[in-house]
Structure 1
């Protein structure tokens, strides 16, 4: 077979591979569009049923209605109460998530890599984990007052344990053959930890981040239920005291939207950092 024939064959194979990849991309785009359309249809049908049933059976006091929730959101936005509360809740959520996640990842790495250290402290971590963290809110208020700090601490504690256990598990389950290969190539324990354990555990770390992020929001809202003068949780509490069902649902809708946005933002960060991982 001549060189020219080989070149033509290789070019033909490249063209066929490119065509297959193009078709796969088109199919993936079609699938994504269908998923979005299905999700949109579910939302529209669900809201329509909610509105019709509420109006037909007079359930507005008990479950409100989409129109009632919308009117409440507009009223909050016009008085800037919504933006003030949203800023307060987001501040506590972020201030609680960042230190809780960093501490959970760091300690999880250490306990997972240094097995003896992990075996010593794991029972104590498990013991604290079994405590109902929400029940600690009054204690944090007693210790730190009624300002932002107790809510931040509660959010950080909720985040810490979730990130810790996922990171701890990831550090423990690193492929032992990769570690042995690192040692055989002359790497010390610190180098192997930095270049093998940490990178291969990042998937577990981000899983912990994604799982714990909504819990940071939960910690912020629970703290606002207990003691606050602003925030989405404070607004929901006031709406409950006033038997304002639309206000309660409006606060829940805001929290749901915030949780979705924060989670999607974290997914984008994960995709940028772990683009090599198919599951990211």
Structure 2
């Protein structure tokens, strides 16, 4: 019988291979000819050195603002999406309008509405969350949660819905007694996917919001000063935080809906 490597070993080997490829590329393909220095792509060691040089407080200051914006956008976008999905179950005629709204929100280019949002929301004080970033974060999660929630709510067992109807239950009763429980796996999966989307939306919103503190402004300043190790450091930290939050919500999903994977 063929023996497979454990998942942690596969992850470790893949990570080591990626770091090695990154390091080799930075000192060969992307190095300055004749000098051996790297500009566009720094070595992993240069990024680590930049982490130590800039200090932990730098990342706490900027990431705390962006995480605040992402959290508010996550709550607003998902809250409205779940509310509209619930309304559709009570008033099915609204489904077409809600789906059109979701598709429109997904298709609107951020660069098109960014300048408009800057005019609508006030410029935040230093260290305060940006209304533009919150709105873009909410917009980034809306479509996924609406679609996922509607799919989950529609997946309820028809026999159970018929039982509620036979006993005089309304669509609202069906929603409370049957559809909500049946939709939990799909809804929680949509909420998990929305986590990195909200963080990315907040970062994008900061580019338009004229903010001084946040991941977006920090990356712009690093780009303008041609500090590639800091740009890569911020990008890697952003990815690590988004992935960590994604995995945490995924863990909560598995704990909340053990029946979704056949657990006892």
Please give the range of the TM-score, normalised by the shorter of the 2 chains: 0.7 to 0.9
Q: TM (normalized to structure 1)?
A: 0.81
> C-alpha separation between the residues in 2 aligned to 1:54 and 1:100?
40
Contiguous gaps of at least 5 residues in structure 2: 32-37, 125-129
Among 102, 105, 113, the residue aligned to 1:136: 113
* Conserved? CA contact 2:102–2:146, under 8 Å: no
Contiguous gaps of at least 5 residues in structure 1: 1-29
Given the alignment of the two structures, is residue 119 of structure 1 paired with residue 91 of structure 2, yes or no? no
- Which residue in 2 is equivalent to 1:34? 6
Given the alignment of the two structures, is residue 258 of structure 1 paired with residue 241 of structure 2, yes or no? yes
> C-alpha separation between the residues in 2 aligned to 1:159 and 1:182?
32
- Which residue in 2 is equivalent to 1:201? 183
* Conserved? CA contact 2:215–2:234, under 8 Å: yes
SS at match of 1:243: coil
> C-alpha separation between the residues in 2 aligned to 1:134 and 1:161?
18
> C-alpha separation between the residues in 1 aligned to 2:86 and 2:189?
14
Assess, with a 3 A threshold, how the Cα gap between structure 1 residues 196 and 219 changes in structure 2: closer, same or farther: same
> C-alpha separation between the residues in 1 aligned to 2:202 and 2:100?
28
- Which residue in 2 is equivalent to 1:73? 51
Assess, with a 3 A threshold, how the Cα gap between structure 1 residues 205 and 194 changes in structure 2: closer, same or farther: same
Cα offsets for 1:58-115 (capped at 9, x unmatched) = 522121111111111222225x211101111111111111121121112122224421
Root-mean-square deviation (CA), in Å? 2.2
Larger radius of gyration: 1
- Which residue in 2 is equivalent to 1:44? 16
Assess, with a 3 A threshold, how the Cα gap between structure 1 residues 73 and 135 changes in structure 2: closer, same or farther: farther
- Which residue in 1 is equivalent to 2:77? 100
> C-alpha separation between the residues in 2 aligned to 1:197 and 1:182?
11
- Greater helix proportion: 1
- Which residue in 2 is equivalent to 1:187? 169
